[in-house]
Structure 1
Amino acid sequence: MLPESIPTVKVTGRYLLPDGTPLTGSVTFRAPAVLTFPDADVILGGPVVAQLDATGAISVVLPATDAPDMDPDGWAYVVTEQLAGVTSNRSYAILLPAEHPAADLADIAPTDPGKPNYVAVRGDSAYEVAVEQGFVGTVAEWLASLIGPAGVQGDTGATGAPGAPGADAYAVAVAAGFPGTREQWLASLVGPAGEAGPRGEQGAPGRDGAPGVVQSVNGQSQAAVVLAAADVGAIPSTAVGAAGGVAQLDASGKVPAAQLPESSGGGAVASVNGYTGIVNLTAADVGALTQAAADARYPLTTAAVLLAGTQTISGTKTFSSVPSSTAAPTADNHLARKSYVDALGGGEWLPSDHGLAGWAFDPALGQSTGLYPGSGPIRVTAVILRVPATLTRIVWFATGYAGGLLTGSWAAIYNSSGSRVAATGDMSTAAYEPAEVHTAGGATITSPLTAAYSAPAGVYYVAWRLQYNTTTGDGPLLLAAESGAGAPPNVFGYTAVRRFGVYSTGAATAPASITLASMENGANRYWAALA
């Protein structure tokens, strides 16, 4: 709120569409950038923006344009209408004298675009002219003199006759020597109107105002805006080619040599290793070896094998093809040729010769007559794998077998620690029971594993338990090694590996592990194999 010592004028206005719908937008009143009122100790600055309310109306209190002791003085408000939906918003000037404390824009705003901007004139300016020309009386008396006094109303209420015209201000002016007509005299009070200039094109929309009205420029809102390079994020022209500034480009689009640092040699290379012009250097020019010379002098021992000489190669190496040698090994750490290994086997038969991954012993060394494994105990035979193999079956040899295994019959493979690594299913079922054998000399019988097992090289134990009814059909007669003794040996040499054994107490299914140390010798040493 302004101090009471500053005279103000309340300005109102209402904006509607032709159908009565309230318009939206704002009306901006601009005074000089800064107004000072020394008597009130107040400085005013910036435009006043009045927003249209829901009825399309505004109401704002502004300092009077003729406030005493105001600096600057002799100015007018610039009114800018910013109305949504109105294609041509107006901008015009008004005076707000203190003697009229209220003004409505509908009374003072221009409506004819062909007329000049309207500026409100003090109401008593013509009266002062009349006083200067000899009129004696108040403003009201002067106004009354322009139309003369009204007639007196009669007793019956009828309208009285018009009074005679009084001496009006124009008459006073004529008496004082004014030579023109009444219209000319009235025009002389305000001066002739200037000719209307051509209507300009509507400006582009401002950033935050109505179309064509600039409210501010880069944050500056004043009559005369002056921008510097920093205001628009630009580099001053004085910084081009100057210390601490920026370099410029010449006509070829390059930085002139004069603006390059001295350490760069002015942007040009004088010579390279004593050469000028188009220089092509070789290895000898820079004191280096060619690729061939370098390979000969410095063999890449980490990436290649020497053709001759002693060389140590560490780490695991993978060969894309099988390495070969023409000589037989002469030491334990030499590579061995296949023919050399085969020759060491002599005439011995190997499991691979019979399509097997490993076996307990050459089956040709077994007894001609098979032995019954018995119904109930768990029989065990050790098998060694020299190389890794994928196992799918457990293999026996039967000299006769009429079938008839019962539930509780199974077979499994255990590693050297006694942990089960693979097993068959229930061998009383058709999927896992070995085929019957009724041929002279017997035949190989097998039971498949429930899943293939990738076995590393090592010692494995084949354990099995067969349940059968001796009154209706005997179990298989299995091939066995010589078992004449009551408890034939099953441990040989200086290792604790048990090659044959038995657990007299069986189990209905293959246990997860077996205790090798508690395995008994048993009376029979059965042959078994893996495939």
Structure 2
Amino acid sequence: MYLQLPTVAEGGELTVWRNSDAVWSATGGIVGPKGDKGDQGIQGIQGIQGPQGDTGATGAQGDTGATGATGADSTVPGPTGPQGDTGDTGPQGPKGDTGDTGPQGPAGQNGEGSGTVTAVNAVQPDAAGNVTLAATDVGAATASHTHTPASLGAVATSSVGVASGVASLGTDGKVPSAQLPTLADPNAVTSVNGKSGPTVTLTAADVSALATSTRGANSGVAELDSTGHVPNARIPYFGFTPADLGLKAWAFDPATAQSGGRALTNRVLRVTAIPVRETITVSQVIYHVLGYEGTGLNSGSSIGVYNAAGTLVARTPNMTGTAVMIDVHNSGGQTVTCALQSSVTLQPGVYYVGFYPVIGTAANAPVLMTADSTNAAPVVTLNTVKPFGLISGLTSFPSASISVSALETDPIKYWAGLN
């Protein structure tokens, strides 16, 4: 059974349907004549992009193409031939002058190869594919090249022994002294106590010392005498000094003497020690006489000055009568000067004054001032000095020396001075 549809307009399509077993199916259309082209419709909305399909299998490899044409012949020199055996070395001759540059050798054979040359030693080929190399392109010298000492790694003879050149060697193989630099002495002193040279002048303060001008000056330092002691003039003294009373040295301050005095004993050397603190020159021995009459001393009487070893260094003349010691009859006595035969210079030290009397009339003998003489105990010392003492049993004045160790102790301590 067929279904007949209405008439189709020009350009339309008529579809014929068939019913088979109550099922309609299209059997094909009847195409009519093509109608006029209609107006273009509005572009529809782009649809959603579908998922990417699987990659297809790789196709089979194509056939190899034909070999290209052979390239142009190379202009690069061929390899150097093998080196021959080295001959025996002959004796070295004198150095000759540099010869002229020889002619350039023939070019080597063209190398063989295939392919396209793009560059040789960084030199590009020309339009025809040719590469032309210069001598400098292969590290060679040009035909007009002249070698210099520097290019040969040598030193020019004009640079030997001159400034900014090289040192020459003498016949001994050593650099001459004229070409050696003046070297600083490694032991040279560059500074002294922080003061730089070349000439350094130091003051006493630079070496933590006192200037010599402070020696013996106020607010300075005390000098030492020849014995290594401070001079008496530099020693502070509480009370009178010998100089305060017009003397140069004494046994003790007379203010400490006792009232009254003691008479001398016939032919007994009475010794008094006197300390000398500085170098002095003396010409007199001083005693304080409480009473004396000229008939008290006979010939042979004398006073001597002895050093610490007991050697006589000065003496008075013979003291007969009043030739050396004057009469003293006034109340309280008198300080009497007894002149030495000649003046003498005494260095610092201990000296002994010894009075040796030869008494005529005992009642008229000299009575001399003393310190306290009531105690018979000797003056204690820790050395060989004996401040007071006597030597008995003499028959004459000891005109050469006395034995200090032989001094006998005695309570009588006579005062004496030097001037």
Bin for the TM-score computed over the shorter chain = 0.3 to 0.5
| Higher RCO (CA < 8 A, seq sep 6+) | 2
Q: Higher helix share goes to which structure?
A: 1
Larger Rg: 2
TM-score for both structures, normalised by structure 1: 0.38
TM-score for both structures, normalised by structure 2: 0.47
